[in-house]
Each structure stands twice: as C-alpha cells, then as structure tokens.
Structure 1
Amino acid sequence: MITTNRIESELLILNKIDHADPNKDAIVDLSGPTPITLSYGELNALANRAAQGLIELGVEKGENVAYLLPNYWEFAVLTLAIWKAGAVACPMLPALREREILFIMSRSKSKLLIIPSEFRNFHYGPMIESIRSDLPELRSVITIQSRDPGDLKDGLGGLASKEADLEEIGRRRPDSSCPSQLLFTSGTTGEPKGVIHTHGSLGHGVSAHVQTLGLTAEDTIWVPSPMAHQTGFLYGMSMAFYLGAKHVGQAVWSVETARTAIEEHGVSFVQAAMPFLADLTREEHPPKGLRIFIATGAPVPRKLAQEASDRLKCKVAGGWGSTETCMISVGSVTCYMESSWNTDGQVIAGREMKVTGEDGRTLPPGQEGLFKVKTPAMFTAYLDHPEWYEAAVDAVGFFNTGDMAVIDEQGNVRLTGRIKDIINRGGVKIPVSEIENLLYQFEALRDVAVVGMPDPRLNERICAYVSLKNPQDTITLSDVTSYLHAKGVTKIYWPERLESIEEMPRTTTGKIQKYVLREMIANKLGSN
C-alpha cells in the first residue's frame, strides 16, 4: 500500500533533483555574451556547497532567506541551496528599489540578503547601503561578483567555497509540510501580501499541471518570466526540475534572445504573460520550434491568439492561476480548439472552481459571478496577517479570488475582470474584458485598458487607455466608437473618453496596473 507520506515525498521538487540524470543539462543561462550551462550533477553539487555556506552563516531551519536576482543560473542554485539548508526562499524582483525592498526585508525579517553587483547598468550595493540602517535585523549582504560557476572563491558571493556536510544537510531535509517559499504579490491593486507556500503545495502545483499538458523530461522549458514571480519560479525553473528537464533562462527580454532559446536550444514549452506572446507573433520572421505557449496574467485577445497559433506554429492556450493557488485552469493542448485560447480553460485535475452570487450560492453555467477555487496547491498563510487568510479562504477551503468569471456549459472558465475592475456606470455593469477584446482587434492599437473614471452623476464613466502600434498615427474617440458601433456593441458600453499613452504602466511580470490608470484619469479630471 502506498502511504500518503510516500505520495507527498514523490511530489517534492527538491527530491526530484536527486533522481535526475546527473549528466543531463539542467540549466542554460542566456544572460551573458556566451551561454552558461550546468548539468544536473553540477547543479546539485553547487547547491550542496552553497547550502553549507548558508548553514555556516547561521541560517536556521524555517528562516526566510531573501535574494534579489535576475534569471541567472545563480537564482536556481540558491533556491535549491536555501531549501537544502531547511530555510525558506524569499525571492525579490530585480526591478525593485528602496521602498519595496525595505518593505519585504522588514516583513520577512531576513537576516541575509543576496544581490548581484550590477544588473542592467544598475549597481545594487550603494542602494542597499543607503537603507541598511533601517534594517536592524539584516546581518549579512552577499554580493555576486563572478558569474563563473567554476569560481569557488567568488562564485555565488563565496558561498560555494565550502565543502558540503551532507549529513547536516540531510538532517535539515524539509518534508511536505515545511514552508518553502515566501512570495510577495505584485501589487496591482494595493499593498503586496506575503504568500507562504509549503514544499507540498508547490509540488502539487507543478505535478498536476505537468500531467495536464503532457510534459516530460524530453521537453525544454523556456523561462523569460522573472523567476522571482510565481510564473517563472514554479512554471519555469521548478517545473523543469520536477521533470528532470532542461530549462533555458532569459534575464532580459529581447526577441533575438528568445529566437536563440527557441531555435538553437530547442525550447518546446513556455508559460508567460501576453506581451511576450505579442512580441514574438509580431516579428517579421517569428521563431519556430515552440510546441506550447500557455498565456497567463491577463486574458489573451482572441485575434492575437489566432495569429500566434498561425505564425509561431505552436499551440496557444489560456490559463488562470494566482500566487496563492498556483494554476487552477488551463486550455486543452491535447484536444486543441478555439476554447483552448479564447477562455481560461477547464479545471485542472484535483482542483475545484465555481462561480457564486453575492449570497454565496453557486450560479448555473453562463452566469457571471465571483470566482472561487479550491486546490491541494493552496498557500497556507499570509505573513503576519491571519485575518487576511481567514477572510480569503472559507470554512470548506475555497479561496475567494477577487475575480469575476463565467463558467460555460462545457466547463470553460472565462475571467471577466476584477471586482475592483468593474465599471459601474449608473448601475449598469460594463463588461470590461469583452470591450478590451474587441478593441484589440482594431488594427491601429497595440495595447488597450478600459477603466472607470469618476463621475458625479453616474458614479463612473468609461475611459479607454490605448497605445498605438505606430506612434506617428493618431486615433480619436469617434474612431473607437464607430468601430464598436460596427461591431454591434450597445452604446452604453462605448468609451466616453479616450486617452492615448505611449506605454501602459505594468508590473514587472507584464500585468497592466489599472489602478495606476484610474489614478491618472482621476487626477487629470480633478485638475480640469
């Protein structure tokens, strides 16, 4: 009889590393002028040495260890080293600066911070020194100078210069109930929340997704999304480790580096945000070789999904997940059809999802309501805020996502917007996502975001922010409303103001920050 502990053990990402082929490529790092490649044997050995270094620095079991790194090979090695030391990985996006770093370091109480010397012409040392007096618990700052995996003196900031005590590392080995990750939400709607996952919840998050998509060790996983975000961390780096597959890391976005990853290094799978898909699709000669592109983070405009499937010659599918729940739904890549990409897919095995009314009752197919989900990959806590967890997760384990959605007769879910994203125009709820999808088909437009703007009579009116494919072009509100009229859209759904913007404000993972746009239009109207 297979015990629960045995099943849980087999799910753990850290345990999968031990069974990977030591001679097989684990990492190809495309961040420098020449690729850096590590085999699984080299990866494991470096992670053991770095774990020993962490132990000798005084890192204790269950302690949060903060690191602020791009998609380098060092990120992967340090994540495994932190886990091997029995500690909790607390990665930070390299785009963060003083205010955000102070917030995360103070909340995590990490005594250690690992940074690069420089990334994208920004030097991190002086910035950390400028705030160090405000971080009394910070004991050590380790700066990575050398990028050479063979440099045991300066590689990994000197952490890898120690011989590993494998017995001590074995005693610290975490089980499925141990905390593994502290990840702060990207803050599209307000204060970031510290989301805590265990080794078991992350293992569940990867395993079912892999099975649903039919991925194997023969696939090569591309990671252009930041590994300090759940998409890159779990469905890039960790997925590759779970499979014993090769992952190709890209630290700075460029289509040419993406072409190298796909055409020279044999990338077959990627899960990433819509802007990556759009950039690849719009290339004059799109790279060929991808098998699957799972687009997450925002609804995929239908026209873009069709063009991407045709031009990239791969299967494009939508999906929905969150930092708290990991992936809940994904479009089918085995029974590939229109619903694979024009919805957020069907529920992944072992998960549950439902749409409820304001009274909490489950609504029938086709009705819009609040999207709630249940999963074995559920986070276990919000750091320092048990009341937030209690408010978000009900007595039977359903997480209130804060999203509105519709589930159709076939079981496909379609996210229609955030509760805070809903425009209430005089009591009429505006279908924001549908209007955006239509406007994305307007040839002149590159990006679209529909937001509410304050109105003293109707509470809110409709404002469309757009960016143009050709900055020299112009577009008017009349152009947009005439287009929607031709599409048969009722007049009460038409934007009443058009704002042209060169670039949308985004999180570092590609999500449009609509709260910034709402603030911008409110301030603009207030100054008129």
Structure 2
Amino acid sequence: MTSELISLRRPEMIRSGAWKDNIITDFLDKAVDGQPNKTAIISYRVAEEDSHRLSFLELDQHVTRMAAGLAGMGVNKGDVVSCQLPNGWQMTALHLACIRIGAILNPLMHIFREHELRFMLRHAQSKVLVVPKMFRAFNHQAMAEGLRKDLPDLEHLLVIGGEGLQSFEDQLLNRAWEKETDITALFAERRIHADDIIQILFTSGTTGEPKGVMHTSNTLFSNIFPYAERLHLNSEDIVFMGSPMAHQTGFLYGLMMPVYLGATVVLQDLWQPDFARQVIAREKPTYTMASTPFLSDLVEQAASHPQDLESLRIFVAAGAPIPSALVEKALNTTRFKVASAWGMTENGAVTLTHPEDPPSRAIESDGVPLPFMEVKVVDLDGNACPANTEGNLLVRGASLFVGYHKRPELYEVDADGWFGTGDLARIDEQGYIRITGRTKDVVIRGGENIPIMEIENLLYKHPDINTVALVGFPDKRLGERVCAYITLNEGAASMTLDDIKAYLAEQQVSKSYFPEYLVISDDLPRTPSGKLQKFKLREQAKTIRLDQ
C-alpha cells in the first residue's frame, strides 16, 4: 500500500519541483569532493566533558566502513537498524551507512525503557540495535540484553563502549570491512531510490500504542530544502543541535540538514544550559532549533553571559507557544532572532515564521506554511472556517509521511490528500496559524509527547485504582505537565504520587511519562452515557501550581 500511496503523489510532486529525487549520500559525496577537510561534526559529551571532531572526509571513511560492516553482518536492503543513542557523530554516521546499503534507520529516544522498546523493536522487526553502554547513569546494554529473548528478529546488539562481539567499535570501526568487499559494486547494487523508506520514527498517539511513521528521502528533503531557504541558511552557517536527534526536529535539522548544506554541526548529547552556553561561546554556531524550554534556558544564560551567545543568529522554537515575556527578554539580552514553528513527526516543520517578521509574529503565531505545504482549518462538518475562527487543523503536501509501519488502516488521509493533525487552530488573514489546542488526547511536556492512553491503560491494571484520567496542566518552562485524576476501589488504602511513580517504574515505563501531580477524588465528571469529561478536568488542572 505504501508504494501505491507514493506513486499516486509522485507525478504532482515532481511537476511542482517538491521532490527532487536526492538522497543524503549525494550531498555527503559533494562535501567530500569540494571540502574534504572541513569540519563536518563536533560531538560534545556533557558528563565526560569532551568532544570529538570529524572532517567530511573522516566522516565518509567511517560511513564506508560501517556500511560495509553492516552488510557483512547480514543487513540487507530494506532491513531495519534501530538505535537508542544520544546526540553524537555515531548516529549521523549510522544513518548515512544505512543509506549506503539500503537499510532503514529507526531512531529511538534514549528515555525509552523496556515497556516502550519491547513493542517498538518487535513492531519494526529490527535486525540490529545500537545502544550506548551507559548514558545518564543508566545501563542501556543490560536493558537491551534483557529484551533480546522477546525480539526474535534481532540478530545483532552493538554497544558503543562495549566489548567483544557486542562492541560497536570492534565490530564496525576497527575492522577494515571496506577491504573485504568490492565497495563500489556493493554501494551501486544497494543504491536506494528517493521514494524508498529510509526512516521509521515512532510517535505517541491516542490508540494506546506508538505508531511507526515512515518517511522517504523525498518527503524529508522536500521539508529541509524550503526550511533552510526560508531561514537563509548555507554552508557558512554552523548548526547547534541540543534537541534529540531521535526526534524529528533533531533528525531533520541536526543530522540531515547540515550534510545537505555542507555545514558544520555541533552536537550536545545531554541538555545542560550552562554547558551549552560554553559550547556556543567556543564553537560560534549561528542557528539552532529546540522546544521553548531550551530557549528559556539560553535566555537565562544570556542574562549573565550575553557575549557567549553573540554568534547565534536565529533560534527556531517549536513544541509550545512562546511566552511574550520570553521573547521580550530575548530581545533585551541576546542578538538572535526568535522564530516560531509548528510541525509533527509525520511532516517535519509545516509552518515557520520569516526571520524578517516582527517579533510579535513569533509570539502570536506559529508561522505560515513552507513551500509545497498547505494547511486549512475546518469545522466539524469539514467546511473551511472563516479567518480567526478555531477549528480542526488539516495539512497536506510534499513532506507528508507515506504511512504507518504495518498499520495502513491508520493512514487517515482523505481523497484530496488532507491529513487530520489532531490539533485545533485558527488562521489569520495573512495565512499565519496559531495552535489553540488539541483534539488528540496527548500532553506535550517540554516538546515530548506523553502517550496518555497507554499510561492510563497501565494504571487501570493497578488493583487499587478504579478510574484514572491523565490531563495536562500549564507549566511556564515545559509548556505542560501531567496530572493524574484517580478514584480508588472500595476498601483500597490511600495512594500517593510516589506510589503511582513506583508502580509505573515496576511496569518499566520511562520516567518522563510519570504524572507530576495527583488528585484523588470520590468521582470524576462524566457525560450521561458515562464517558469521562476530560475537558472539565483540564479546566480544573489549570489552577495547579507545583511551587505552592
């Protein structure tokens, strides 16, 4: 079905110039030919307080060896290679190596634990999994080894910093794989088409299970090209990426876009504002993109160290509305322009303000569509809403994904190509959109989607819980946090927030999905038919203040 969807879209996408049939290794080859000694990646590790630099030539050499190694280990065209890695040069090289041999990369957030990974790795039928040995004092190698019995398709576990047959370095970097095969023939035989699937990225939804969003080179680059053009980015820019590259933001604009531009990228593996300030002062990046909390942190840093951030020209904020006070503070303490964007895993950034726009645009809107993308707001009957009227937000265009992995029934795109985003929005007379809410039952905490239904389903299994409803409540820094409204079974002892967290930890759920506030009630608001009225709970939750 995926190939049929692509073939239906292809004639118009080619005619419009949106799909140019480029693949990322074409741009790597161009950089190696034109500027082999230019720094491609500067990879910082916060805990170790170190960095690693690679030129485009060195990056290409690593990619060639890794690609030949993966092929030598039995990775075939169309196989899925998963990685649960923090930002680092290894992830960029791994993606490029996969492209060389026609494999599909499946990036996984480093915060995921057994509960999430077991489903995702089985669903993707991952053949290889690459993890760090330790990250943030957590043993990823031990977790991955514990999962292997549940993953019949997983043939290889490679550990960065590991030993023996599981050592990423020993298996892929220290062996001269490229001398054991005809590289030219291998790469020619495995060369992909720009309409082949190259990425599966899981996103949380309202169905209770993550969905594997599938993208091609054409869908991803049709976003990157106009995005870079709108921001006037080129090979002279230096990209700073502290957002996780296992998110679409980091993947598109921290992994793929620098290779396309032939620009240097500075990666930071763990967000730490003071460390980031020092890195920016040292490496002089000109552009970054992250969620609003990152912007808030850097503006705070600039208040006491304004000279350290002078190189930054533009900060693109997404994931939550930008408070006007934050933009005003940025104007007074920094030199960079704050831009606002909206997008999703299924599309990348769809709307983006112009750098030339007045500051108020970043405060009051989430931008206008990029070239080759369209948005519209409709009422419940599907009719277009008048300007400045709230309705359901639909999107269509070149960077729209090409389906959910092994779940074609969930690809709800109508006959005219419109995809329902699950967001509520309004559009003004100039075409600028403002996200006003969500129809989907998802909370976004610091740019991270919290899979509400999935966590609720787990909590319903607790023997003392009768009813549970998770809703978001506003937070100045993170945008939203999670409140759990609960009723208890008759005879059950009282329950605390720590009890809830301990129970979810036993279920091997990521800590980032834990509720941060608990309300125990005798009853929760319902409709006459018995359905929970979450909108009432959301209104109640607006009064929550964690600092009280």
- TM-score relative to the length of structure 2: 0.75
Tell me which residue corresponds to 1:291. Answer: 313
Moved more, 266-275 or 118-127: 118-127
1:404-443 paired onto structure 2 within 5 Å: 404-420=424-440
1:128 matches 2:144: yes
Tell me which residue corresponds to 1:79. Answer: 95
The whole-number CA distance in structure 1 between the counterparts of 2:128 and 2:395 is: 35
Given the superposition, is the C-alpha separation of residues 234 and 157 from structure 1 closer, same or farther in structure 2, using an over 3 Å criterion?
farther
* Among 260, 273, 287, the residue aligned to 2:291: 273
- Give the superposition deviation at 1:254: 1.1
Given the superposition, is the C-alpha separation of residues 408 and 43 from structure 1 closer, same or farther in structure 2, using an over 3 Å criterion?
same
CA contact (8 A) 2:322 2:362 kept: no
The whole-number CA distance in structure 2 between the counterparts of 1:370 and 1:359 is: 10
How many pairs does the alignment contain? 445
Given the superposition, is the C-alpha separation of residues 51 and 171 from structure 1 closer, same or farther in structure 2, using an over 3 Å criterion?
same
The whole-number CA distance in structure 2 between the counterparts of 1:262 and 1:463 is: 33
1:381 matches 2:394: no
1:451-490 paired onto structure 2 within 5 Å: none
1:62 matches 2:66: no
The whole-number CA distance in structure 2 between the counterparts of 1:412 and 1:182 is: 30
Kindly provide the CA deviation profile for residues 374-401 of structure 1, in whole angstroms up to 9, marking residues without a partner as x. 1201110101111110xx2111111110
1:490-509 paired onto structure 2 within 5 Å: none
Given the superposition, is the C-alpha separation of residues 386 and 188 from structure 1 closer, same or farther in structure 2, using an over 3 Å criterion?
closer
- Give the superposition deviation at 1:403: 0.3
Moved more, 393-402 or 338-347: 338-347
The whole-number CA distance in structure 1 between the counterparts of 2:43 and 2:162 is: 14
Structure 1 residue ranges, 4+ long, deviating more than 4 angstroms after superposition: 3-10, 186-190, 462-469, 520-527
Tell me which residue corresponds to 2:120. Answer: 104
Given the superposition, is the C-alpha separation of residues 521 and 355 from structure 1 closer, same or farther in structure 2, using an over 3 Å criterion?
farther
Which amino acid is 2:79 matched to? E
* Among 19, 35, 41, the residue aligned to 1:27: 41
Q: Structure 1: which 5+ residue stretches go unaligned?
A: 148-152, 423-431, 434-450, 452-459, 470-498, 500-504, 506-511
1:316 matches 2:338: yes
Tell me which residue corresponds to 2:278. Answer: 260
1:91-490 paired onto structure 2 within 5 Å: 91-145=107-161, 156-160=169-173, 161-164=175-178, 165-186=183-204, 190-283=208-301, 284-286=304-306, 287-288=308-309, 289-389=311-411, 392-420=412-440
Given the superposition, is the C-alpha separation of residues 267 and 525 from structure 1 closer, same or farther in structure 2, using an over 3 Å criterion?
farther
The whole-number CA distance in structure 2 between the counterparts of 1:197 and 1:383 is: 10
- Bigger relative contact order, structure 1 or 2, given CA contacts below 8 A and separation 6+? 2
Which amino acid is 2:257 matched to? M
1:90 matches 2:143: no
Tell me which residue corresponds to 2:25. Answer: 14
Q: Structure 2: which 5+ residue stretches go unaligned?
A: 1-12, 445-451, 453-468, 479-496, 498-503, 505-511, 525-548
- Give the superposition deviation at 1:285: 2.7
Given the superposition, is the C-alpha separation of residues 37 and 193 from structure 1 closer, same or farther in structure 2, using an over 3 Å criterion?
same
Secondary structure of 1:401's aligned partner: strand
CA contact (8 A) 1:142 1:157 kept: no
Which amino acid is 2:400 matched to? M
Given the superposition, is the C-alpha separation of residues 336 and 239 from structure 1 closer, same or farther in structure 2, using an over 3 Å criterion?
farther
The percent identity for this pair of structures is 36
Which amino acid is 1:172 matched to? R
Given the superposition, is the C-alpha separation of residues 336 and 98 from structure 1 closer, same or farther in structure 2, using an over 3 Å criterion?
same
Given the superposition, is the C-alpha separation of residues 172 and 463 from structure 1 closer, same or farther in structure 2, using an over 3 Å criterion?
closer
Alignment RMSD: 3.3
- Give the superposition deviation at 1:156: 3.6
The whole-number CA distance in structure 2 between the counterparts of 1:135 and 1:99 is: 13
Given the superposition, is the C-alpha separation of residues 524 and 116 from structure 1 closer, same or farther in structure 2, using an over 3 Å criterion?
farther
